[in-house]
Amino acid sequence: MELLCIQSQEHPQLPQAELKAVIECENIQTEIEVICEGLVILKGIAEDKIDEYYRILTRRLGYTHEVHEIIVKSSIEKLAEDVSNVKWSDYISETFAVRVKRFHSEISTVETERNVGALILSNCDDIKVKLREPNSLVRLVAFESDVYVAVEKIKLNKKHFEDSKPHKRPFFYPGSMSPKLARCMVNLSRVTAGDLLLDPFCGTGGILIEAGLIGCKVLGSDIYWKMKNGTAINLEHYGITDYRTFNLDVRELKMYEKVAGVVTDPPYGISTSTGDIEGNDIFKEFFHAIYDNMKDDAYLCMASPHYVDLKPMADEVGFEIVEQYGIKMHRSLTRIISVIRKKLD
C-alpha cells in the first residue's frame, strides 16, 4: 500500500529531510519515491501498518500539508475507467468532495472534479456531494499525464501553525522562530513520544511547544528569568504539562537525566543579548556544556547564522555535523539549520 504526501515548497530540502527523519525515528517501513518537489510517495507499506503510519505522519509533520492513502494510480486517459472500478463505499461516508492538485500537468481542474464526482455518485448509494467540510475527501493528484487517486483519512492540523504564531501566544518576544520551522527542527532531532527534549536557550518556548505537542517531555532553560517564566505560561496555554523550566546559564547545565534530543536557536546578532559571552564564543561554550548532558545516540538540531563556522567547534568537542540546510532570511543573513550528533567510535 502507498501514502501520498503533498509537501510545502517554501524550502527545497527541509520538507523531505523532515519526512525522512520521522520515518527513521518512528521505524516506518517504507520506500520513498520523490515524484517532484512537493510530491512524495511512500511505497511498500504493509496493509496492517497503513493506518498506524498515517496517524504518526499527520501527528508529527510540519512541512507536509496533506497525507492521503492512494487507491489507484491512473492516467488522464484512463481516469474515468479506473474511478468507475473503485468500490467507493469502502472509502466514503455520507458526504464527499473531489479536489484536484496539479504538478506540471495540463489536466482541467474544475472539469475533472465535476466528472469524477459524478462517476462516484453513480457507483455508490446513499452519499452526497458536500463541498465544504465533507466527511470524505477524494484527492486527485496529477503529475504530468499520471493521476493518483487517493483519499484523505486523517487531516493534518495546518491551522495550528497559523494559530500558534509567536505574536498570538500569551507571552511574546520579538525574534521568535515560526512554529512550522520549530516543529521541523524537533523532527530532525529524531525524538519520539516520551523522550526528554531540551532547549537550553528556550526564549518564549516555541520549540518546546512543538516537542510537547508530539508527546515529548520537555525541559527549557534560559539565562533570563522572564523568558523562563514566559515559556511556562506558553506551554500551559497549549496544554503541555510534562515540562520543567529553569533560569540558568547554559554553562551551568548539569542534568540528572541525560536528554534524548537537544533543539535550540542560540541568540546571535546585535538585537540579542547573550549575557557575558561575546561573539561566536556562545556556540563554542554551548557545545562544551551540552555534550555530557546528551545520551550517546542523541541528536542536536540547532540554528546559527551563515557566518559562523560550526564545524571546528563541533569537532573539538566530539560532535559531527550530519546535515545542514540554509534558509535565506534577508539579504545579509542566511540561517543554517544543523543536525549534529556525537561522533561514533
| Per-residue pLDDT, 268 | 76
Q: How confident is the model at residue 216 (pLDDT cuts 50, 70, 90)?
A: very high
Strand order in the sheet with 259-264: 243-247, 217-222, 196-199, 259-264, 294-305, 333-342, 319-330
The DSSP symbol for 49 reads G
Rounded (10°) angle between helices 225-237 and 206-213 = 30
Cell 504539562, residue located: 241
**Whole-Å CA distances, 129 to 115, 141, 232:** 12, 19, 45
Chain segment 116-173, per-residue pLDDT in tens = 999 999 988 889 999 999 999 999 999 999 999 999 999 999 899 999 999 999 999 9
Pairwise CA distance, residues 215 & 192, whole Å: 7
Query: Residue 277: its pLDDT value, please?
Result: 56
Each residue's pLDDT tens digit, 289-331: 999 999 999 999 999 999 999 999 999 999 999 999 999 988 8
